[in-house]
Chain A
Amino acid sequence: MGRYLARRVLQFIPVFFGATLLIFVMVWVIPGDPIRALGGDRRLSESVVQAMRAQFNLDDPLFIQYFKYIGGVFRGDFGTDFSGRPVLDLMQQRLPVTIRLALLAFVFEVIIGIIAGIVAGIRKGGFLDNLVLTSTLVVIAIPIFVLGFVAQIVFGVQLGWFPVSGIRQGWTSYLLPAIVLGSLSLAYIARLTRASLAENLRADYVRTATAKGLSRRRVVGVHTLRNSMIPVVTFLAIDLGGLMGGAIITETIFNIPGLGRAVFEGVQGQEGTVVVGIVTFLVIVYMVANLLVDVLYAVLDPRIRYE
């Protein structure tokens, strides 16, 4: 297990530096003046441009630039926006909101998704199975922003069940956005659980477990479930990336002042450095989460520990 962990961490390091370097290069090494590009249509005075150049060490050779930048990231310095305000401030202000939203969405998608998948997988071909399959397909097909608006109109405005925007109503304001945010992942989780369960139910060890005289409930609930969860857990890691993109959209639609909305505001307000800073942070979070899930995977599947 230790060797597996060590290998995973060792694989993580080049990917970490590689990805952050990639973003860095794509932003700062484009033809033309990166500062002006980040500023969009904004009119920038010379002094501001010079100040930004100094901040991002643009007169240094590329690699020095990058290392100073990464060094800054480790200290929490993600640069400043065009008014000189540190991006970190904005992030600190907005992060808790997004965490609440994401957590709620995550709990929702995991619980309902897995339950739906189990129900569908056990009664394959039945009514519930087809119901789950169809509804998940519809959710997957409808883009999240369309879903978001429709949900907002139907459940928020017309039915009045949920607050429509902002976070003034306390935690209930997070409910509808969390459901919308989690819906796409829920669909994938349900399908994956269903397929995984159906496959595992055909496995040899199920026959052995039944021959041992165990109840059906135990065979499915203990023996197959553990095996079936393995691909789902792996998926959750990859899905986090989608969740982040979804958070940007959901927070925009529902006016939730989180990190995602900050990205959108950065785009609208021509604050390129804010966009880059927050996205870099999110990418790092994504990579770390994937590493953690790899570890979790080894806990669930002992065969992996010896690879």
Chain B
Amino acid sequence: MSYFEDASLVYIPSAVKNAKTYSIKPTDGSGDLTFSRASNATRVNSSGLVEKVRTNEFIYSEDYSTTHGWFPSTIGGSTVDFTSNYGIAPNGTTTADRIELHINGQAYADYVRPTASFVVGVEYTYSIYLKSLSGTPTFEFFNDGAIGVNKTITTDWARYSYTFTATSNTAYPRFLVLASTSPDVDVLAWGGQIERGVMTDYIATTSAAVSVGPVSGLPRLDYSGGATCPSLKLEPQRSNLVTFSESFDNAAWSKNGISITANNAVSPDGYTNADLITADGTITEHYILQGQSASVKTISVFAKMGSQRYLQILTGGSAAALANYDLQTGAVGGLGAATTASMVDYGNGWWRLILTSTDALTNNIYFCFASSLSAGRFEAFSSTGTLWLWGAMAENGASYATSYIPTLSSAVTRVADAASKSGIASLIGQSEGTLYWEGYRVNSANFGTALVIDDTTTTNRIYILTTIDGFRIDVTSGGTSSAFYTAIFSEGTHKIAVAYNSSAVDIYIDGVSVYNDTSVTIPACSRLVLGNWSGNTQESRTSQAILFKTRLSNADLATLTTL
């Protein structure tokens, strides 16, 4: 038999668009899932990189005309000439604008567009492609509100950038030439970008800022763990309470016995924005810390070994929340009484260090150098060691770490994901059928949803839920459960099939028959739900979901679910 041909609905994460993730069968769209998540998020992309939402806040990035807020600011007889779409831009289109500044014996000539959207204390990068049409002039190409930044422009296209920490909410992309620094200026300009953090790939804009990546409403096809095929990542609502999660040089982080070199190495997101942490060589505790609330339960940070091998995560006021991490081998040790700890390999020497504690964590969280895997709290020792950090996170009320949530000057909340398809009674076996789910189960303190069919209420349903330590499967019709199975299964990938008809329900997990019940009432169902059913929102990663309108044979169930 062909499972694909026999199936009524086959969902394999492969293509998405805003608010939708496509099923590969049926092909008429009637089985495509409706998706929702009312916030940005991150994912691990097919290159194994942590993909964040990136935003170009520079509107009309390829048009510097006065129509869009640019204006000449001249003095006396100095002049500015502007020609739209004068030259060939770096992308091969004739969209580069020509800007000419003529001093004419005066002090300066200026072409400027003030921008007021900067958050004080936050790191930004302004960038623009420039090419001189005459000589190699030096002019001010940006003013961060306090400091004017000069660049010398060559006769070849190049992308010029300036990274700064905002000291006011106003800054000025500009072309300002002073009589004292340069002769007249004649340049082509194209592709302006203002973004938070370091410079990333160019994003074109028109009348509004443009964001790319896992933006609000876009399903996440996730490749965590080096997967070659993606899974649909569905997570609960979580908040990252750490501020400046990638900027350990910021004053939001207190330091002791260490120094910070910002943006020193390529981080797990593929850009040069990881901070180098260097111990100062004295005999002391070497750490950074940030104050947090007592409700924080899971702490995580990405770390990479330089010459410092061991890092400790701990909290203030409690000996129970403590773990040491070996950045060379991926081992954890020295765990506190109420702590679980793990390390996840993100490649290129990067690990995500995770600490979860059932203790009532208090106040500060610390990332502290340690001399061994068994080091105690706040070890004082001499070190000149180095390591890199990126992407710190503190999640409140959380029994496991979820996908990274970047923050700047405030805490940020990612909203829960949900995917479902209503009105598909014709694709669901009403008197007999088979449900198949393949995905990754995460240990958590609450229930999560792997796959559910229902009638949009909880009265009629067949569900496959993830529990604190395994799976729970239930068949309920008219509010009365007629088949119920629950058992412990490890965190990891599993395959589950639930086959039903009027005479029996059979459940197979990972190739093994685990349940048979010959007294069952089949509910009438019309909706398929993956993740976030009836408040059961813990993480699920679905790599396949298949519905059959026939009850597959036990042999087929075994074959289908064998790992």
A and B are partners in one complex rather than unrelated chains: no
List B residues at the A interface (Cβ < 8 Å).
none
